[in-house]
Structure 1
Amino acid sequence: MLLATPLLAACSHETPPSAKAALEPKRDTACSLDGMSLADYPGPKGQLQYAQGAPDFFCDTIELFAVYLKPEQQRLVAAVYVQDMSKANWEHPVGNWIDARNAFYVVGSRLKGSMGPTFASYGSEAAARAVAAREGGKVYRFNDITPAMAELDGGVLKDKSM
């Protein structure tokens, strides 16, 4: 029975007691999913900090969710971070990292990230609701976002302005 405990922990998304702090990506940091430069694209970024090993950075929050919510995600996640876009510059966001599990997300708005439509992340419900009223979309909490919502079927296909 003791051998089963480490195996269960390996499949867990639970944050261990000593969660890692957010890191600021370097100017040349590439997205772990598609290799795109984080600095070259607008909108909120994301990062997964693992219990062991290097973090994964994402040039768009939808990519972070696509990876995090995959059933095959086997690494123990120590922390999940997104940027608070009520405090960051949309075109060139830097810093303002918040715990993704406590954030509010505007899904289905007119706001665009690197992959086209994005999950705009905010540190407060009031900020998220104000953006949803102005830009369209619906406000969600972290645990309300499903794998189907985060499918990566191509930003160009979803972005009718391209």
Structure 2
Amino acid sequence: MNEASLRQGRRQFFCACAALATAGLAGLAGLSACSPAADSATSAAPGNFDGQSSCSLDGMLLGDYPGPKGQIRYRGDAQPSWFCDSVELLSTLLKPEQLKPVASAHVQDMAKADWERPQGHWIDARQAVYVLGSKRQGSMGPTAASFADVAAAQAFATQWGGRVLRFAELRTEMVDLSGGALHDSRM
């Protein structure tokens, strides 16, 4: 047995001991988390929400509202954090105080998803193109319509108004959440 094999064996042994010590026998299912490759591969893929999925910021059910949704998968978390509006996701990603390491962030391609009942069509939030200031409303009122390509975003802006921006052009003040949720008396 070579040195690398011994180190790998010791690492697996210590991971197993730690899992058993902290979570009992139920911790056996979590042993794959000891592998960095397994953690990043499974946690980065986008998921799909169901009728019970709620927004991690305000508890709103995603399926009850129109417009683009979002999800962030944080490293080490098995489940995504859902956002009932792309503005909420963007606000979370752009906050300078965001400390949790993000494995992936996804929004919906609204050129393919149904605006009133969006499902699927997930794209990388940092590669997406956004339309801010359009007449279309999301769950929080004014939203950031998300698209996989510039041509689709420009066509949307021509029809509904707004400004086309890439993720790198967005600033925190453009996705400020102090307007919608804070003044909604129904919440």
TM range (shorter): 0.7 to 0.9
User: Which aligned pairs between 1:74-113 and structure 2 lie closer than 5 A?
Assistant: 74-113=99-138
Counterpart in the other structure of 1:143: 168
Change in CA separation of 1:33 and 1:156 when aligned onto 2, cut-off 3 Å = closer
Q: How far apart, in 2, do the equivalents of 1:74 and 1:146 lie?
A: 18
Long gaps (5+) in structure 1: 1-15
1:81-125 per-position Cα deviation (integer Å, ceiling 9, x unaligned):
000000010000000001111111000100100000000001111
Task: Please list every run of at least 4 consecutive aligned residues from structure 1 whose deviation after the TM superposition is greater than 3 angstroms.
Answer: 16-19, 156-159
Q: Say which SS state the counterpart of residue 101 (structure 1) adopts.
A: coil
User: Which aligned pairs between 1:47-62 and structure 2 lie closer than 5 A?
Assistant: 47-53=71-77, 54-62=79-87
Counterpart in the other structure of 1:115: 140
RMSD: 2.0
- Any conservation in 2 of the 1:116–1:158 contact (CA below 8 Å)? no
Q: How far apart, in 1, do the equivalents of 2:80 and 2:53 lie?
A: 11
Computing the radius of gyration over CA atoms, which structure comes out larger, 1 or 2? 2
User: Which aligned pairs between 1:129-140 and structure 2 lie closer than 5 A?
Assistant: 129-140=154-165
Whichever residue aligns with residue 73 of structure 1, its letter is Q
Long gaps (5+) in structure 2: 1-38
Change in CA separation of 1:79 and 1:65 when aligned onto 2, cut-off 3 Å = same
Query: Percent identity among equivalent residues?
Result: 51
Q: Structure 1 length normalisation: TM-score?
A: 0.83
1:44 pairs with 2:68: yes
Between 93-102 and 19-28, report the one with greater CA deviation. Answer: 19-28
- Any conservation in 1 of the 2:131–2:163 contact (CA below 8 Å)? yes
Equivalenced residue count is 144
Q: How far apart, in 1, do the equivalents of 2:73 and 2:182 lie?
A: 30
- Any conservation in 2 of the 1:103–1:142 contact (CA below 8 Å)? yes
Q: Say which SS state the counterpart of residue 102 (structure 1) adopts.
A: coil
Q: How far apart, in 2, do the equivalents of 1:51 and 1:156 lie?
A: 28
Change in CA separation of 1:158 and 1:128 when aligned onto 2, cut-off 3 Å = farther
Q: How far apart, in 2, do the equivalents of 1:128 and 1:67 lie?
A: 22
Q: How far apart, in 2, do the equivalents of 1:155 and 1:136 lie?
A: 20
- Any conservation in 1 of the 2:40–2:75 contact (CA below 8 Å)? no
Give the structure with the larger helix fraction.
2
Whichever residue aligns with residue 23 of structure 1, its letter is G
Q: Say which SS state the counterpart of residue 44 (structure 2) adopts.
A: coil
Q: How many Å apart are 1:154 and its aligned residue?
A: 2.8
Q: How far apart, in 1, do the equivalents of 2:123 and 2:136 lie?
A: 20
Q: How far apart, in 1, do the equivalents of 2:181 and 2:98 lie?
A: 26
**Higher relative CO (CA 8 A, sep ≥ 6), structure 1 or 2?**
1
- Any conservation in 1 of the 2:72–2:102 contact (CA below 8 Å)? yes
Q: How far apart, in 1, do the equivalents of 2:75 and 2:152 lie?
A: 31
